Structure 1
Amino acid sequence: MFDLDDTLVYTNKYFYLIIEQFLDLMETWFHTYDVTAKQFKQKQIEIDLARVSRDGFVSEHFPESFVDTYRYFSTLLGRTVHSSEENLLYKLGLSVYEQPVEPYPGMLETLTHLRDEGHQLYLYTGGEIVIQQRKIEAMKLHDFFDDRIYIRQHKNQEALEAILTDGKFDRTRTWMIGNSLRTDITPALTAGIRTIYIKQENEWKFNIVDYKLGPDATMYTIKSLSEVPNVIAKHTAP
């Protein structure tokens, strides 16, 4: 069972690119005030993470975090709020969902290798259906996952448990492969399935949480998608 964002396709790097453009605008508008880009960024992250934690993966959260950060500092510093600037920030935030869909190195080879070895592949991703389907279709992932695709607004323990139970998965032979300790690895460990954590260099703060490994837990940490087939083969070798 594969995660999608920042496991199979790049996502975070486009969010970081748009955030840098947001910070450039904020620094331009607030250049006469005693406030730094670091402060803008910290507040935007705080607002964004709070909403994701509360409501799950909703596309409006990201652009709203730009607008709310702008309003926060405008009120704090006594700067006039301009609707034209708010609209510009909101459109900038939404533009992240229009960025190119780019596969991680080894995506096609990894999925092909596992499929040809006889593994049944599943895709489990968090987000809105329209946005995630655009990525799936752009990468022609139906060729590997067919109808075995799960898209959930809340990607958590309850969502994974429902998938495993309803699908009658054999938990002793099921793997969860992803980059998020919060939404991929920790729920999978709790559910009693095997895990492969693909550790990314510049990870979204939301995805990083503490975790505990039980005596029977299986967790491998790797740095690239291309390592997945070897990990599975070595673990299941007689």
Structure 2
Amino acid sequence: MELTTLGFDADDTLWENERFFKLTQERFTELLADFADPDHLSDRLLAAERRNLRIYGFGIKGFTLSMVETAIEVTEERVPAHVIEKILAAGREMHAHPVETLPHVRETLEQLAPSYRMILITKGDLFDQERKLAASGLGELFDGIEIVSDKTVKTYERVFSDYGDGPAQAMMIGNSLKSDIVPAIEAGSWGVYIPHELSWDLEHADEPADAERFQRLKHVGELPGFLRGLGDRSGRAAVPPQF
């Protein structure tokens, strides 16, 4: 079946994201060095993030509040006010950090945009995701933008039906197996996994290596060649007609 729609993840697929979380967590560890060893602190922070996902969702705000909560817990409510202020300041700095697009992203999107329906599908804080998209300069290359609270099978069924011809004629490209790849494949679409060197522990999942519609690429610049290969194998045109 001919592909007509491409869905792209944003964070750590189109631009850097997790690196800034890791750097902020290192600062957090230094601030709490007198109260907890790094491994214990990391475990407590991850537990707080996991608890808070259903309340605050994904993104910088939830991460910042989880750091504050963890600081209160590990110090048994003795954390100094100036430490809390530094944690909040670190969160504000994350919001203000420039957006750095990853290699091969712009040229790949520009090459594919004339021939496919291009959908950005990202989860997280609405304000922050809109800010990053605007700063990236990539927004004009997409036919639709979906900022969702989570990525599930139902999410991909809805988005690929609303903007395209359904999951069977769609492909999701992203760096998270748990959010971008596994549920997209379960919805009936292709899942193209492009790993990033850094990943959040809560996004871990096993590769669905036996899935017929799964592919792993080294970087997004390999995507046009992979799409051409699909066209060659199916006997159809590598790129569908322009819409």
TM-score range, shorter chain: 0.7 to 0.9
**Over residues 69-127 of structure 1, what are the superposed CA-to-partner deviations in whole Å (9 max), with x where a residue is unaligned?**
1111111xxx72333322321221332222110000011111011124x1221111101
8 Å CA contact 1:200–1:223 kept in 2: the answer is no
Matches within 5 A, 1:47-196: 47-52=48-53, 56-75=57-76, 80-116=78-114, 118-146=115-143, 148-167=144-163, 169-196=165-192
* Deviation string, structure 1 residues 189-211 (Cα, Å, up to 9, x no partner): 11000110011222111211135
In 2: Cα distance, 1:169 partner to 1:56 partner: 29
> Post-superposition shift, 1:214?
6.5
Q: Which amino acid aligns with 1:132?
A: Q
Q: 2:31 aligns with which of 25, 28, 31?
A: 25
Paired residues, number: 227
For the residues of structure 1 that align with 2:165 and 2:55, how far apart are their CA atoms?
Answer: 29
Question: What SS is found at the alignment partner of 2:118?
Answer: coil
Runs of 4 or more above 4 Å deviation: 211-215
CA 1:202–1:50 in structure 2 vs 1: closer, same or farther (change >3 Å)? Answer: same
Q: Structure 1 length as normaliser, TM-score?
A: 0.87
Deviation at 1:179, TM superposition (A): 0.5
In the aligned structure 2, how far is the partner of 1:55 from the partner of 1:83? 23
Distance in 2 (alpha carbons) for counterparts of 1:18 and 1:167? 37
Residues 37-48 of structure 1: matches in 2 within 5 Å?
Answer: 37-48=38-49
Give 2:4's aligned residue.
none
Residue 207, structure 1, aligned to residue 208, structure 2: no
| Structure 2 letter corresponding to 1:17 | L
Query: 1:97–1:156: structure 2 CA closer, same or farther, 3 Å change rule?
Result: farther
Q: Which amino acid aligns with 2:203?
A: N
Question: Equivalents in 2 of 1:132, 1:3: separation in Å?
Answer: 11
In structure 1, distance between residues paired with 2:170 and 2:100: 27
Structure 1 residues 151 and 103: alpha-carbon distance in aligned structure 2, compared to 1, 3 A threshold:
same
Question: What TM-score, normalized by structure 2, do the two folds share?
Answer: 0.85
Aligned to 2:219: 224
Q: Counterparts of 2:78 and 2:11 in 1: how far apart (Å)?
A: 38
Distance 1:235 1:199, change over 3 A: same
Gaps of 5+ in 1: none
Larger relative CO (CA 8 A, sep 6+): 1 or 2? 2
Identity of aligned residues (%): 27
Letter in 2 for 1:11: N
C-alpha distance in 2 between matches for 1:22 and 1:85: 9
